[in-house]
Amino acid sequence: MPKKKWWKECVVYQIYPHSFKDSNGDGTGDLKGITSKLDYLQHLGVNVLWLCPVYSSPNVDNGYDISDYRSIMDEMGTMADWEELRDGLHSRGMKLVMDLVVNHTSDQHRWFQESRSSKDNPYRNYYIWRPGKDGKEPNNWSSEFGGSAWEYDVLTEEYYLHVFSKNQPDLNWENKTVRYEIYAMMRWWLDQGVNGFRMDVINMIAKDPELPDAPPLDSSPYQWGGQFFINGPRLRYYLREMYVKVLSKYDIMTVGETRWVDADMARIFVDEYRHELNMLFHFELLELDYGPSGKWEKKTWKLADFKRIISDWQKKLAESGWNSLFLSNHDHPRMVSRFGNDSTYRVESAKMLATLLHTLQGTPYIYQGEEIGMTNVRFPCIEDYRDIETLNMYEEGMKNAKDLKELTEVICEKGRDNARTPMQWDSSIHAGFTDGTPWIPVNPNYRDINVEQAEQDQYSILHYYRKLIELRHQYPLLVYGDYHLLMHKHTQIYSYLRHWEEETLLVILNFFEESATFSLPEKVTFKTGRLLIANYPDTNAEIVARDLKEISLRPFEARVYLLN
Ligand code: TEU
Ligand code: CA
């Protein structure tokens, strides 16, 4: 049985600060903007805010390139604004989780400026420098954002490693001084009342010291070297050390962003007795629509895979460890456009997916705008896009004379900017996000999809989220209950039971537009069922066993019953 912990009972809300709320009309969201919306967030019922990076940054990758870990970026405000936000949260009984980006810094960070200045500078070894090989890069690794993962620096005639953009040099975790600087910085924030960290690409910090060439999968000069920098040999040691030096001293929550981790590996990361991390973000679900060549290749996802992956994680983390439940974030397309239907059944399917996320074992994470069913965007021209990953991919595609129509199509469907358009507050110009010109255009559908509209409509997605969150707070069953998959083989319906003490929960979800017939397996016995929540308002509040023999489910229908 899972042990009780405060962070298991929370619902987390993720904020992408650039796009949440602008307070001063410069077109970029900021800390004061967030503080002005705390009543909204409190009313929604969420307990924890996770802020994507707000530290000083030249914003090549919107804050994931940090130039000073101990100050706030100008666009976001000041340290005093941050304190006001923290206090506003704490006085409401809410918590604040900060993003921790320590795989790399910005190339504008003082450490890197020193490091590149000469080979014998004391900071040289803070980063990963190597001489070239036969006049070329030290190895063939590709960068996550295109091109080589190495950049030649004329000053000292060596290359430095950057798994992401060339403005994001990787820190050298082998160097104990680097690690201790990071631990001190973490303690500095925790001492100011931070309640936890979301750790950016934390399983990439331990590189294979040999930095071997990646085996070539195709004819391109640069190849994905993930097997040599993800889940590296010293990772466990670093995480244990971080726990001992920092995490163990505070009552906080930690969630590691870990690509390339399956449920068996996750068990080790989040095992409660090993003390590494509390939760992970894994990407097995979100990569279901990646083709063999990666995210820019389209593939249709199948419900069977969805069920298999979720069930696997639910089972394997049930005893020791904990799941994080999410289907979107700032790096991925909008959940309703991707796994639901963002036209005719936008409201129904957004509610259905929300029902899934809030009725599994684990801690739900809501990404800003998800609670009003925000959708992907289709910008008319490439100039409207801002994301470095998208723009690099486009540029490379153009160079290789790829079909322009295909290129823009895949950007519309997969690009990260889908999740980064400004939060839609009302139907006024720029969706009430800013009085100025937004740094990225708003989604033109803001006149119909916005918070103001959702507040007024009792059947809105927003009201449904409030109710779901309330249910999680009301019933420990929803948080801690175990999980049993029903109707394994059904290609359209996802259904499961949750048990906790004397209580049983039955969840029924139709994942598609076509109607489908649900029938409760004989072995599940009960007398009466009480409806806790449903996404069609006319659903009967009480049922008897006979009723569940055969239910015809409407498009994207979701029902949750408490069985007696
Ligand atoms: O993302 C990590 C990551 O693995 C990305 O490459 C991700 O796969 C990609 O965005 C999907 O296309 C984290 C942050 O969440 C992301 O915003 C940053 O750009 C990245 O790290 C570098 O810090
Ligand atoms: Ca601003």
Query: Which residue, by CA, sits nearest to atom 23 of ligand 1?
Result: 64
CA-based radius of gyration for the chain: 24
Any idea what DSSP says for residue 442?
P
Q: What is the mean pLDDT of residues 138-153?
A: 97
Report which protein residue has its CA nearest ligand 1's atom 16.
331
Which residue, by CA, sits nearest to atom 14 of ligand 1?
200
For 465, list phi and psi in degrees, rounded to 5.
-60, -45
The percent of residues in the chain predicted with pLDDT above 90, rounded, is 94
Q: What is the mean pLDDT of residues 284-297?
A: 94
For position 436, what pLDDT does the model report?
98
pLDDT digit string (tens) for 353-365? Answer: 999 999 999 999 9
Q: How confident is the model at residue 400, as a pLDDT? A: 87
C-alpha span between 476 and 499 (Å, rounded)? 10
Please report which confidence band the pLDDT of residue 401 belongs to, taking 50, 70 and 90 as the band edges: confident
417 close to ligand 1 (CB < 6 Angstrom): no
149 lines ligand 1 (CB under 6 A): no
* 23 alpha carbon, distance to own chain's centre: 25
Q: ipTM for the complex?
A: 0.97
pLDDT at 103: 98
Express each pLDDT in 488-503 by its tens digit.
999 999 999 999 999 9
Superfamily of domain 110-161: Oligo-1,6-glucosidase; Domain 2 (3.90.400.10)
Mean pLDDT of 137-142: 98
What's the mean pLDDT in 122-139?
A: 97
* Stretch 180-186: mean pLDDT: 98
**Mean pLDDT calculated for residue range 225-247:** 97
How would residue 545 be classed by pLDDT, with cut points 50, 70 and 90?
confident
The two three-digit tokens of residue 362, written as one number? 């684990």
Of the pLDDT bands very low, low, confident and very high (cuts 50, 70, 90), residue 402 is: confident
Side chain identity, residue 43:
H
Question: Hey, what amino acid is at 409?
Answer: E
Residue 403 pLDDT class (50, 70, 90 cuts): confident
Rounded to the nearest 5 degrees, what angle is found at the Cα of 232, between the Cα atoms of 229 and 237? 140
Give the pLDDT confidence score for residue 421 in this predicted structure: 98
Q: What are the pLDDT digits (tens) for 498-520?
A: 999 999 999 999 999 999 999 99
pLDDT reading at 161 higher than 90: yes
Q: Which tokens go with 170? A: 């990787």
Cα angle for residues 265, 271, 274 (degrees, 5° grid) = 110
Is pLDDT at 546 greater than 90 in this prediction? no
Which has the closest alpha carbon to 234: 258, 255, 208? 208
Residue 528 or residue 174, greater confidence: 174
Backbone angles phi, psi at 256, to 5 degrees: -95, 135
- The rounded Å distance from CA 438 to ligand 2 centre is 9
Q: What is the pLDDT of residue 309?
A: 98
Query: Are the beta carbons of 279 and 256 closer than 8 angstroms?
Result: yes
Q: Does the pLDDT at position 293 exceed 90?
A: no
CB 446 within 8 A of CB 428: no
Cα 145 to ligand 1 centre (Å): 9
Tokens of 497: 């039971």
Q: Is the CB of 207 under 6 A from ligand 1?
A: no
Which amino acid, residue 63?
G
Q: Region 16-38: what's the mean pLDDT? A: 98
Distance 394 CA to ligand 1 centre (A): 17
Active site residues: 200, 257
Lowest-pLDDT range, 406-410, 438-442, 481-485?
406-410
Bridge partner residues of 483 (DSSP): 498
Nearest ligand atom owner, CA of 24: 2
> Could you identify the atom of ligand 1 that is nearest to the CA of residue 295?
12
Place of tokens 């920092």: 246
Residue nearest to atom 6 of ligand 1 (CA): 144
- The predicted model gives 230-244 an average pLDDT of 97
**What's the CA angle centered on 141, arms 135 and 145, to 5 degrees?**
115
Which pLDDT does position 200 carry in this prediction?
Answer: 98
| Matching residue, tokens 């490379």 | 396
Q: E-assigned strands of 73-195?
A: 95-100, 129-130, 150-153, 158-161
Report the nearest atom of ligand 1 relative to the CA of 414. 12
Beta-carbon contacts of residue 69 (< 8 Å; ≥ 6 apart): 55, 185
390, 409 contact by CB (below 8 A): no
What's the rounded Cα separation, in Å, for the pair 63 and 108? 12
Is there a contact between 518 and 497 (Cβ–Cβ < 8 Å)? Answer: no
Residues 13, 52: Cα–Cα separation, whole Å: 11
Place of tokens 């420098």: 129
**Which pLDDT band, with edges at 50, 70 and 90, does 126 fall under?**
very high
User: With a 6 A CB cut-off, is 61 part of the ligand 1 pocket?
Assistant: yes
Can you tell me the mean pLDDT for 437-453? 98
Domain ranges in the chain are: 110-161, 482-563
Distance 254 CA to ligand 2 centre (A): 29
**Helices and strands, number each (H, E), in the chain:** 16, 23
What is the domain class of 482-563 according to CATH? Answer: mainly beta
